[in-house]
Chains A and B, each alone.
Chain A
Amino acid sequence: MFKSKELNRIFSVVLQYASLSAFGLFTMFPLLWALSFGLSSDGSYAYLFPDSFLPHVADEAGGYGIGATLVWFERVFVEIPFSVYFKNSVIITTLAVVGTVVISVLAAYPLSRMRFFGRNFIFVAIIATLMLPQETALVPNYITIVKLGNFADWLQLTLTGSDAATWKKLIGMNSYLGVVLPGVAGAFGIFLMKQAFEAVPQDLIDAARVDGATEMQILWRVMLPVTTPSIAALAIFTLVNQWNEYIWSSIVMRAKDMQPLAVGVFNDLTGPLSGSQNTLMAAIVLTVIPVLIFFAFTQRYFISGMDGAVK
């Protein structure tokens, strides 16, 4: 016989796992449903609860059984230019990660380790931008990007005399840089790296100075090696944010062959020409999976690495 105390404890553990699983089902069901939908041979069972959470495949006799088919996942690559979107996502995200890390590191070093005119003012100005709703910058930045493109056009015409309009493809509308540039210099990255640099012991820097190292060498040889965890955190956050970014990319990337996954897949799936719902769900799963795999390896940076952000 269990004592009532023991029984109570078991009951509370069971209750806890039950609520944990219930919450888990709430957060996971859209993805699980999409996966099962995409693996089914058609939509017959897709809206029947709870059958819709297991993939159903039609057999020769016309009956349905539980099974899986990859035919819709293959269709994704035929019906929508999935690999083009994927390539664009990779290019845009790489540019954003490299740009954000380089610019944040460069800006954070003097802010944390050098004394110069206007230091506090610049730091406060950078931090104050956190208060601005970035969404209201969409219109001015759109105009800026259009003008940058026109300026590149004019520059090409003046300098080379050619009216091929190839330079504006580098910086104007429908350009990778146009998507990435507005976001790479931000308060979050600079603040994160400043905190990391401030934790480096002064003796280390003094020793390097005595040895005659330049500021660039100190940053590269002394500061960077000891702050790799923070740089990794910044890179990982930037990667996931940029991979998922939708609104600005959808404004800049009007040309279909330049769109990243989050924009291209959304437009194709909600547009008038969207294909079967099975293909749609397969495309959704294919879009989410790269982030999930990445998250599986780096999740500690998201789930425990943000402690510093609160304290």
Chain B
Amino acid sequence: MKNSNFMAYFFLAPALILMGVFVFWPVGFNTYLAFNHYEIAGGAVEWNNFENFKRIWEEDLFHQAVKNSLFFLLVVPAIQLGSLLIAKLVNNKMPGMTFFRAVYYIPVITAISIAGIVWQFVFKYDGMLNSFLTEIVHFLHIYPKEQLVDIDWLGDPDIAMYSIMIFTLWKGLGYYMVLYLAGLQAIPAEVEEAAILDGANAWDRFWKITIPMVKPTILLCTMLSTIGALKVFLEVLVLTDGKAETYTALYYVYDQAFRNYDFGVAAAAGLVVTFFCMILAAIQFRFFGEK
């Protein structure tokens, strides 16, 4: 290593300047905005005595948004179990596994706005999903021939959040599958072979060998998807646009900022979300920081 302050900072300058302006400055400015009223027209800033926090504390819409964000955590166990199972399936040494891995990863590399449009048509009142379900109930003779399934997947406030979860599941399974694959491939083949010799069946092997040995990956992925679930908002934006009581915490921030142009309230709500994410991230760093 060579000691050279000038050269080092010369190399670092572009990154530090850009991160300073677009990553570090927003933290401070956001906190500042949260305690002030921001005049969008002239950019005048005025202290308003915690008015922004009082407002979100009292507003039903924000309560609903926070409740929805917490409710959305339901997607975490589903996505973890699902992606671990898929990873287990594609980790076999059988022909065609590369193909299946690629197929499962395609939703991850599809733009969320574009995928959202297709799913709007899937979830529509007279859309794909209902037509599929109609076929099934007719086949099983649950419904009479003339009756159709007509669930309003994105319009019914009781169902809309679940529909957004299905979309999130579809979009995220492949991402976590890849992380779990890496974890699975670190398990020595001998361990599993020994268990087979001892007569353990697939179910026992999954719970007694696979799960304990990928525990670090499970912890990491659970943390990542918990933070991801708390921050859910683009999914809402592209599917329901906040209709049918689907406001989430960050959607509320976006809505206040870029539809109402109330930057102060948006910043206050954003600060609350940041606070919770930092706590979760700190826990995550405690678990994984030393690695």
Please report A residues at the B interface, Cβ cutoff 8 Å.
Answer: 12-13, 16-17, 19-20, 23-24, 26-28, 30-31, 33-34, 47-50, 52, 102-104, 106-107, 109-111, 113-117, 119, 122, 125-126, 129-133, 135-144, 147, 181-186, 190, 209, 215, 219, 240, 243-247, 251, 261-263, 265-266, 269-270, 277, 280-281, 284, 287-288, 291-292, 295-296, 299, 302-304, 306-307, 309-311
Instruction: Establish whether residues B131 and A139, one from each chain, have CB atoms under 8 Å apart when the complex forms.
Output: no
Instruction: Establish whether residues B111 and A122, one from each chain, have CB atoms under 8 Å apart when the complex forms.
Output: no
Q: With A47-B131, A135-B253 given, is the CB distance from A262 to B109 under 8 Å?
A: no
> Mask for B258-291, Cβ within 8 A of A = 1, else 0?
1000010011001101100110011001000001
Stretch at the interface among B10-18, B58-66, B157-165, B205-213: B10-18
**B5-35 CB contacts (< 8 Å) to partner A:** 5, 7-9, 11-12, 14-16, 18-19, 21-27, 29-30, 33
By a CB distance below 8 angstroms, the chain B residues around A131 are 277-278, 281-282, 285
The verdict on B189 contacting chain A, using a C-beta distance below 8 Å, is no
Instruction: Establish whether residues B109 and A49, one from each chain, have CB atoms under 8 Å apart when the complex forms.
Output: no
Instruction: Establish whether residues B114 and A119, one from each chain, have CB atoms under 8 Å apart when the complex forms.
Output: no
Further pairs besides A125-B24, A307-B185: 19, Cβ < 8 Å: A103-B14, A109-B11, A110-B7, A126-B19, A135-B233, A136-B30, A136-B253, A137-B30, A138-B258, A185-B22, A186-B19, A240-B109, A266-B114, A281-B118, A287-B114, A291-B111, A295-B106, A295-B109, A303-B98
By a CB distance below 8 angstroms, the chain B residues around A13 are 94
Instruction: Establish whether residues A27 and B173, one from each chain, have CB atoms under 8 Å apart when the complex forms.
Output: yes
Q: Can you list 16 contacts pairing A with B, beta carbon distance less than 8 Å?
A: A17-B94, A23-B104, A30-B122, A33-B118, A133-B250, A135-B233, A135-B250, A136-B267, A139-B33, A140-B30, A246-B111, A247-B237, A265-B114, A287-B111, A299-B98, A309-B182
A158 to B86, CA, bound (A): 62
Q: With A52-B131, A244-B110 given, is the CB distance from A137 to B174 under 8 Å?
A: no
A243 to B111, CA, bound (A): 8
Instruction: Establish whether residues B18 and A184, one from each chain, have CB atoms under 8 Å apart when the complex forms.
Output: yes
Please report B residues at the A interface, Cβ cutoff 8 Å.
Answer: 1-5, 7-9, 11-12, 14-16, 18-19, 21-27, 29-30, 33, 43, 86, 89-90, 92, 94, 96, 98, 100-122, 126-128, 131-132, 134-135, 170, 173-174, 178-179, 181-183, 185-186, 202, 217, 220, 227, 231, 233-234, 237-238, 250, 253-254, 257-258, 263, 266-267, 270-271, 273-274, 277-278, 281-282, 285, 291
A138 to B1, CA, bound (A): 39
A233 to B125, CA, bound (A): 42
Q: How far is the CB of A202 from chain B (nearest CB, A)?
A: 9
Q: With A49-B135, A144-B25 given, is the CB distance from A116 to B14 under 8 Å?
A: no
Instruction: Establish whether residues B11 and A107, one from each chain, have CB atoms under 8 Å apart when the complex forms.
Output: yes
By a CB distance below 8 angstroms, the chain B residues around A263 are 113
Partner of A246, one of B7, B94, B112: B112
Instruction: Establish whether residues A116 and B4, one from each chain, have CB atoms under 8 Å apart when the complex forms.
Output: yes
Instruction: Establish whether residues B9 and A292, one from each chain, have CB atoms under 8 Å apart when the complex forms.
Output: no
Instruction: Establish whether residues A141 and B26, one from each chain, have CB atoms under 8 Å apart when the complex forms.
Output: yes
Instruction: Establish whether residues B109 and A136, one from each chain, have CB atoms under 8 Å apart when the complex forms.
Output: no
By a CB distance below 8 angstroms, the chain A residues around B178 are 302-303, 306
Which 5 residue pairs across A and B have the least CB separation, nearest first?
A: A140-B26, A107-B15, A131-B281, A116-B8, A136-B270
Q: With A103-B15, A119-B8, A266-B114 given, is the CB distance from A137 to B26 under 8 Å?
A: yes
Q: How far is the CB of A125 from chain B (nearest CB, A)?
A: 8
Q: Is the interface of A mostly helix, strand, loop or mixed?
A: helix
Q: In this complex, what residue of A is CB-closest to B185?
A: A307
By a CB distance below 8 angstroms, the chain B residues around A119 are 8
Partner of A47, one of B18, B27, B127: B127
Instruction: Establish whether residues B1 and A113, one from each chain, have CB atoms under 8 Å apart when the complex forms.
Output: yes
Q: In this complex, what residue of B is CB-closest to A30?
A: B118
A104 to B11, CA, bound (A): 10
Q: With A23-B104, A129-B19 given, is the CB distance from A246 to B113 under 8 Å?
A: yes
Q: With A130-B281, A244-B110 given, is the CB distance from A140 to B25 under 8 Å?
A: yes
A13 to B9, CA, bound (A): 58
